[in-house]
Amino acid sequence: MILTNPNDQGIYLTYDKPDTIYTLQSTPVVVKFSLANTFTIVENGYAMLPHVNIHSCNADAGACTPFVKNTPGLSTHTAAIKRNLTTTHTPGRWSMDETLNVNLPKGSYMMIAHVRFFTSQGKWDVAYGTPVIVEDENDNTQFIIFVCLVTFAGLVFAAAAVFMIRFIYKAVQEYAALKEMKEKLVKQKLDAALEASQHLDYPVTLVSANDFMAHGRLRQHEDVRDENQLVFKDSLAKVAVFKKTYKIVFFSHQWTAWTEPDHTSKQYKAMVEALQTVVTDFGWDLNKVYVWVDYISIPQCVGSVQLLAIHTLTAYSSVADAFIAVCPDLEHKETSASVGMDSYKHRMWCRAEQACFALKNGCDNMWMCTEKHDAGDNKLSLNVERMGQEWLKIVLKVFDGNATCCERKHVGMEQCDRQALVVPLLSLYSEWFAAQDIKNTVNPLRVVNNVSKMFEEVELKQKMFPETFGFCNGDGTIAQQELFGSLIHEMEKYLTKNPDLKDVLNGIEVEKADGAVPKRPAMDDSAKETAKVHPEDDCNISIRAADSTTCVEEMNEQQNDLLPLEVDTTKNDEGPVMHKKGARGSRRPSSDAIEP
C-alpha cells in the first residue's frame, strides 16, 4: 500500500547514525519505528514486523527503492530481521528501536530504512532515506583542503600586506621627494626674486631724448645700436649713479600689429608730444633726458636675448623718473580691434609696467597720453595728464589683465606670460616687506610710498599675487595652475628669519666676517660662490656714455683683433677710414618681433 503522508496515518519511521561513517567499518544505525495502536497487526512469520533492514544505493546510480537487490556498484542492504513491537515509547503507539550495523566502501549513498508489516488490509512497506557519505578513516582531504585554503589566504594577506607596506613606503618616499622638490623650487624662486632686486638679466638700454625725437618714427633696437645712439647700464647701482645727473622717461604702449609696434607712427607722434609736455612740466633739461621704449630698448633679432630683456621689463619701468602711458585711438592692423585707453588698461603687460613703477616711485610722476575728440578737427590732439590712485587701484590687479599668449591659447608656448611676471613682482614685494621696519631706506630706488602701502589692503594684495590662475589650452579648456602659491608667505618668513637680508635689500652695508664677501642667505654657496651683495664690477659692454662720447664694445674689439684690415672708400676730415673687415655687418630685421 502506498501512503502519501504516513505521519498523518499514524506511521512513523526514522533512523539515527553517526556524524561520520568510515570505509568498511561496522557502523551502528538505529532504526526507529512506531505505529498507532489503531492498526490491527497480523503476525506473519511469527513476528509483528517480519522485515526490518537498511538499503544503501550508490548515489551515482540514480533513483533507488528498498526493493532493489544486492547489486555490486548499484545497491547493498543488510540482512532482514524480524521484530515485534512494544509500547515502551509513546502511549497509544506500538514502537521499536532496532540497531543495525552498516558496512560500506568509500562513496556517496542514499541510505534507506525499510520496515514491513501486515494488517487485515494487506502488506505495508514503509521506507525512510537520507544521503550519506562514507570516508576513509585516515582521509584528511578536507582538512588538507582547509589547511591549503587557510595557507593560501594567509599568503594572499601577507602579499597584500607587503604590497601595501611597500606602496605606503613608496608613497611616503615620493611625497618626501615631491616636498623636497617643491621646497627647492620655492627656494629657487626666492633666490631669483632676491637676485632681481639688485641684478639685471639685460642692461637698462636708453636713447637720448634728442635722438629719439629726431628719429621720426619708432626705430628698431639694432638699427639705433649700430648708429651708436644707445646707452647701456648693466646694474641697478649704475642706474642710480646715472640718475644723479640724468632723467629717465619710460614709455608704455600697445603694439598695433603682430610684428610692428606702431605701423601708423601715431603713437610715436604722441610720445614726442608727451615727452615735451612732461619735460616742460618738471623743468628738466632736455639734453639730460633719456628715453626707454620697448622697440628701441629691447633686442629684436635674437630671440633668447630678447626674452632676457622682456623678463627684466618690470625692472626697467621701476627705475624711471617719469612714466608715460601712450594711448591714442588706433585700430590693430591684423585683428581690426580697437587699440586705445580701454584696451591699454586691460593689457596685463601694461598693467605690470605701471604697477612696478608705481610701487617703487608712487603715482606722482605717472602720466597718461590720450587723444582728444574735438569735433571737426582732423589734426591729432592729445591730452597729457597725471594718473590718479583710483586708476592705479585697477591696474595693480595685474593678473586680471589680458595677455596675447592667452588669446592665442598658448599654442607652441611652454608657459603663460603670467608665470614670467612672478619673479619680478615677488622681487618688488620682497623690497616692500624689507622696508617696513625702517623709516628711510639708504637706496633711493627703494621707497615706501602711497601706492606700495596698498599692499596692506588684503583683497588687493590677494588680487595682485594670486595663488593660482587659469591656463588656457589649445582646445579651449582651462586648467588651474599654480602662480604665486605660497611664495608671498615664504618670502615673508624667509626675510623675517634673515634680518641681514633685509639690510641688503634696503641698501644697508652688511659687515664682512673675517674678510669674506657677504652673500645672501638664500644663495646656494656652491652655485653662487662669487656673488657679491653690491656688484660694482665694470661691465664689458659700453656702447655709448651718457655724455655722448662714443666707445667701442670691448667684446667686439677683442673679436675684431683677429680680422684683417680693409679700407673704406668713405673719407672724413682725416682721410680714408680704416676698419676691420667684417666688424660691422648688416642685420636682418626680425620678422617675429614679440609684443611684451
CATH code, domain with 44: 2.60.40.150
Maximum mean pLDDT: which of 135-144, 367-376, 410-419, 501-510: 410-419
Both 126 and 223 in one domain: the answer is no
426 pLDDT higher than 70? yes
3-state secondary structure of 264: coil
CB atoms within 10 A of CB 245: 9
In a domain, 160, yes or no: no
In a domain, 176, yes or no: no
Query: Which pLDDT belongs to residue 52?
Result: 92
Residue that finishes a domain, picked among 112, 138, 164 = 138
Both 105 and 204 in one domain: the answer is no
Q: How many domains does the chain have?
A: 2
Whole-number percent of the chain with pLDDT over 90: 34
Both 445 and 323 in one domain: the answer is yes
Both 487 and 393 in one domain: the answer is yes
311 pLDDT higher than 90? no
Cα 390 → chain centroid: 35
- Grid coordinates belonging to 238: 649704475
Q: Are 350 and 326 in contact (CB under 8 A)?
A: no
Both 395 and 282 in one domain: the answer is yes
- Grid coordinates belonging to 147: 589547511
CA 329/CA 331 separation, integer angstroms: 7
CA 596/CA 294 separation, integer angstroms: 8
In a domain, 172, yes or no: no
CA 183/CA 186 separation, integer angstroms: 5
Query: Which pLDDT belongs to residue 5?
Result: 63
CA 145/CA 46 separation, integer angstroms: 53
Which H or E run contains 424? helix 422-434
Q: How would residue 508 be classed by pLDDT, with cut points 50, 70 and 90? A: low
In a domain, 171, yes or no: no
Q: Which residue has the higher pLDDT, 2 or 118?
A: 118
- Grid coordinates belonging to 269: 607722434
In a domain, 11, yes or no: yes
Both 134 and 203 in one domain: the answer is no
Both 296 and 390 in one domain: the answer is yes
- Residue 108 belongs to what domain range? 6-138
- Grid coordinates belonging to 581: 673687415
Which runs of E-coded beta strand occur in 103-198?
107-119, 122-135
| Of the listed ranges 114-128, 378-392, 487-501, 523-537, the one predicted with least confidence | 523-537
292 pLDDT higher than 60? yes
Both 226 and 341 in one domain: the answer is yes
Both 228 and 343 in one domain: the answer is yes
Both 126 and 205 in one domain: the answer is no
Both 100 and 201 in one domain: the answer is no
In a domain, 508, yes or no: yes
Query: Which pLDDT belongs to residue 459?
Result: 80
How distant, in Å, are the alpha carbons of 177, 205, 272, 558 from that of 232?
Answer: 43, 5, 22, 19
CA 70/CA 272 separation, integer angstroms: 127
In a domain, 585, yes or no: no
Q: How would residue 9 be classed by pLDDT, with cut points 50, 70 and 90? A: confident
Beta strand pairing status for 107-119 and 382-386? Answer: unpaired
67 pLDDT higher than 90? no
Q: What is the mean pLDDT of residues 46-67?
A: 84
Both 106 and 204 in one domain: the answer is no
560 pLDDT higher than 70? no
| Nearest C-alpha neighbor of 316 from the set 251, 399, 403 | 251
| Nearest C-alpha neighbor of 330 from the set 296, 376, 380 | 380
In a domain, 311, yes or no: yes
